[in-house]
Amino acid sequence: MNEAGHGGEGSTEPAPLDLMVELRALCELAPHVSTAEGDSGSATQPGAPTRFMCGRGHGARPALQVDCEWRDEAGASRSLAVAKVRVGPWERRYVLGETEEDEEGQDLARELLDLVGAVIFGDLEVEEFAGGGATAWVMQVRGPAGEWRRCHRGGAGVWAWGLRWFGARWPGARIRRWSVGAARPEGANARWAPTRAALPWAPWAGAAGFVGGGAAAAPQPIPVDGELDLHRFAPKDVKRLMHAYIDECLARGITELRVVHGKGKGHMRRTVHATLDKHPAVASYRLAGHGRGGWGATLVELTPATAD
**pLDDT of the residue at 15:** 55
Number of Cβ atoms within 10 Å of the Cβ of 211:
27
Is there a single domain that holds both residue 39 and residue 129? yes
Strands 174-178 and 282-287: unpaired
Is there a single domain that holds both residue 187 and residue 289? no
Number of Cβ atoms within 10 Å of the Cβ of 189:
11
Q: Tell whether 260 is covered by a domain.
A: yes
Is there a single domain that holds both residue 107 and residue 185? yes
pLDDT in tens, 108-165: 888 999 999 999 999 999 999 988 888 888 899 998 778 888 888 888 887 787 887 7
Q: Tell whether 269 is covered by a domain.
A: yes
User: What region does 201 belong to: left with phi over 0, alpha with psi -120 to 50, or beta?
Assistant: alpha
Residues of the chain with pLDDT under 70: 1-16, 37-48, 73-77, 97-102, 186-190, 198, 213-221, 305-308
Is there a single domain that holds both residue 269 and residue 186? no
List the one residue out of 163, 162, 142 whose CA is nearest residue 151.
142
Instruction: Say how many domains are in the chain.
Output: 2
Number of Cβ atoms within 10 Å of the Cβ of 44:
19
Q: Domain end: 190, 219, 248, which one? A: 219
Q: Which domain holds residue 240?
A: 227-302
**pLDDT of the residue at 122:** 93
**pLDDT of the residue at 224:** 85
How far apart CA 171 and CA 131 sit, in angstroms, is 8
In contact, 36 and 241? CB cutoff 8 Å: no
The CATH number of residue 261's host domain is 3.30.1370.110
**pLDDT of the residue at 143:** 82
Number of Cβ atoms within 10 Å of the Cβ of 302:
20
Q: Tell whether 234 is covered by a domain.
A: yes
Q: Which residues pair with 135 in a beta bridge?
A: 130, 156
Is there a single domain that holds both residue 210 and residue 256? no
Is there a single domain that holds both residue 259 and residue 200? no
The Cα angle at residue 54 between residues 52 and 60, in degrees rounded to 5: 100
Query: What is the maximum span of the chain, computed from C-alpha positions, in angstroms?
Result: 64
**pLDDT of the residue at 63:** 93
Is there a single domain that holds both residue 215 and residue 297? no
